[in-house]
Amino acid sequence: MPIISLKNVSKTYKAQSKGADRDGKLVERVKKKSSRLIEAVKNLSFDIKQGEFIGFIGENGAGKSTTIKMMSGILYPSSGEITCCGLVPYKKRRENAMNIGVVFGQRSRLVWELPMSDTFALYKEIYRIPAERYERNVKTFVELLEMGEFFTTPIRQLSLGQRMRVEIALSMLHDPPVLFLDEPTIGLDVVAKKNIRDFFRERNGRDGTTIILTSHDMKDLDTTAKRLILITKGEMLFDGSAAALKSRYGDESVAEFTFAGAPDKLSVAFDPAKRKLSDIIAEAGSRGEIENVEVKSADIEDIVRKIYNG
């Protein structure tokens, strides 16, 4: 039985059209005839097994965040069925909240004036976490996410990377079996991103936490997720492993040549199924003495960009 299941799920919003008044200022037309429907998600179906690490991919406006909000119970679908841990999320919000952890990279649940220690204690009471488990989790997260030096510092004094580490620990304090992560590394530096990726992999591998991750940083997905779901304009475009995505869409490789005594590089894009690398090397050799050749396959970012461009 899947831990999360979506069957023919759609979400439609009603938006009011905007017009201009006599002074050129935008005004809201409240008449029904001026409203329009926006289909954020269209007939989406997939199952997620317990312990899977899912990369949820899509351009801005593709419907990623809307889908995650429906799976977590924040939004309800216009049609279709959703279950998470055996519950209908939007019908059983309180019970569902005990089963999930949620991190939205651009929205914070932290109390600005309180230190992390007080926020953790507050969530201990909200989620009714037993004292032994609470102490164990706090100790584990503080160590793994290296938060000891600012454990009692007010949130307002923390950097963005430090606050995001607190958000992630807070979302997992009650040991939820499912973790929804919507752009959790947005705005972070390279070191902070790597530390957080390592933490996600550790929790997924050791505890079997089911993780659904959206990110515009393709390295987040390429180095963590074992399965990718790609949607565009609210519809499913691909569902499978990263290797399968590269095999299906990554038909282009690039050979980069450097030549003895020449500062410039030569880059040759080619389809390995249609052109042999040996032939390309022979052609490049006619330009001069080859000093080095490096062949790169398309990465996930290249493939996704290619898909969205055409």
- Contact of 268 with 284, CB cutoff 8 Å: yes
Average pLDDT over residues 48-58: 93
d(CA 232, CA 59): 7
Catalogue all structural domains in the chain, each as residue range(s) with its CATH number.
4-239 (3.40.50.300), 248-308 (no CATH)
Q: Which residues pair with 102 in a beta bridge?
A: 180
- Rounded mean pLDDT of 196-206? 89
Residue 24 clears pLDDT 60, i.e. is over it? no
The secondary structure of residue 30, as a DSSP letter, is -
Residue 137 · residue 173 · CB < 8 Å: yes
pLDDT for 245 equals: 83
- What tokens appear for 260 in the block? 């003895």
273 — pLDDT class (breaks 50, 70, 90): confident
Cβ neighbors of 40 (< 8 A, separation 6 or more) are 11, 12, 13, 63, 66, 234
Is the CB of residue 241 less than 8 Å from the CB of residue 227?
yes
Of 198, 177, 234, 195, nearest to 13 by C-alpha is 234
Q: What is the mean pLDDT of the chain?
A: 87
Under the banding of pLDDT at 50, 70 and 90, the label for residue 75 is very high
CB atoms under 10 Å from CB of 24, counted, come to 6
* Residue 254 near residue 71 (C-beta atoms within 8 A): no
> For residue range 79-95, what is the model confidence (pLDDT) as tens digits?
999 999 999 999 999 99
Please give the pLDDT value at position 153.
94
Q: Which residues contact 61 (CB under 8 A, 6 or more apart)?
A: 233
Predicted confidence at residue 59, as pLDDT, reads 82
- Region 294-300: mean pLDDT is 77
Interatomic CA distance for residues 124 and 127, integer angstroms: 6
**Average pLDDT of the segment spanning 6-15:** 91
